[in-house]
Amino acid sequence: MAVLALTDGLKDMRARLGKMVVASSKKGEPVTTDDL
């Protein structure tokens, strides 16, 4: 939730949320929300 408090607009919020890692692939690579 800190991401929401630190943003300065919708575009910035989408960029920050897109960088969040939510899982790992079978190869061990990070999966971000943008990947989904």
For 1-36, the DSSP string reads -HHHHH-SSHHHHHHHHHT-EEEE-TTS-EEETTT-
Alpha carbons 10 and 34: distance in angstroms, whole number: 15
Report residue 11 as tokens. Answer: 């575009």
What is the amino acid identity at position 26?
K
Q: What backbone phi and psi angles, to 5 degrees, belong to 28? A: 90, 5
- pTM (2 decimals)? 0.73
Q: Where along the chain do its domains lie? A: 2-32
Per-residue pLDDT tens digits for 1-36: 788 899 999 999 999 999 999 999 999 999 999 999
Residues 6+ positions from 5 with CB-CB distance below 8 Å: none
Say what the pLDDT of residue 8 is.
94
